[in-house]
A and B are shown apart, each in its own frame.
Chain A
C-alpha cells in the first residue's frame, strides 16, 4: 500500500459525459501528479500541483482540468468524454521541494471506460 488513495476504482460512463476523479496524497506529501496510461500512448504525465498551485502541465487536453485543495487532496475533471479517453488514470504524490526523498508514490488508479 503506497498510502495514496484514489476513488473511484472503476468508472463507466458514456461519451459526452463529465466525471471527477479524486486523489488523496500520502500524509505530508505536498506534490500531486496525474498520469494517464493507455495502450497506445503509454504512461503520460498530465498535470502537477504543489501545495495548491499548478506546477507543471503535460499532455493534458483542454477538456480536462484539475485542482488541489487546501487539504492537499486533488481532483481531475474530465468533460465531453470521448471513447479515446478510456484509460487508467493514476495519481502520484511526492514530498515536494527541499525534501530528502523525491520518489513518486502511485495510487491504485482509476480505470475509466467510456462507452
Chain B
C-alpha cells in the first residue's frame, strides 16, 4: 500500500534561516511520481514540483531545492534563506504508476512558520 509520512507536524524558523521539510514514502510500484504542494493561509493548494521515480537528480528552483533519494525513500524539500511569505502548510504527495494520472496520496503536511 502506498503511504506518505511527513514526520514534522510544525516547524518554526526565524527569517533567513534555512529549513528542510522531510518526506518519506512507501510504495510497491517501481514507477511512481512524487510531488510537493504548498497551502498558504488563503487555503489554495499550489503545485511546486513533480519528480518521477527514474529521475534522482536534485533540483533547485530559486530558494527551493529538492533532494530525492530512492535508497531511503525520501523526497526532502529545503527552503534557503526563508521568508515570511514561505509560511504555509507544505504537503508531499505520491502518485503510483507510469502516467502520473492517478490519485494523489498526501502526507499529513508540515506547517512552516517563518518569523520576522
Contacts and interface: CB of A to CB of B under 8 A. Distances in A.
Interface in A64-97: 88, 90, 92, 94-97
Interface class of chain B by DSSP: loop
B103 A33 contact: yes
Interface residues of B, number: 22
A115 interface: no
A82 B32 CA distance: 36
Nearest to B52: A102
A16 interface: no
B44 A102 contact: no
B106 interface: yes
A42 B104 contact: no
Contacts, number: 64
Contact of A109 (B43, B46, B91, B109): B43
A22 B33 CA distance: 28
Interface string A14-44: 0000000000000000010101000000111
A87 B108 CA distance: 15
A42 B106 contact: yes
B57 interface: no
**Closest CB pairs A-B (n = 3):** A102-B100, A106-B45, A43-B106
Given A42-B107, A92-B45, A108-B44, 4 more contacts: A48-B102, A104-B104, A105-B47, A106-B44
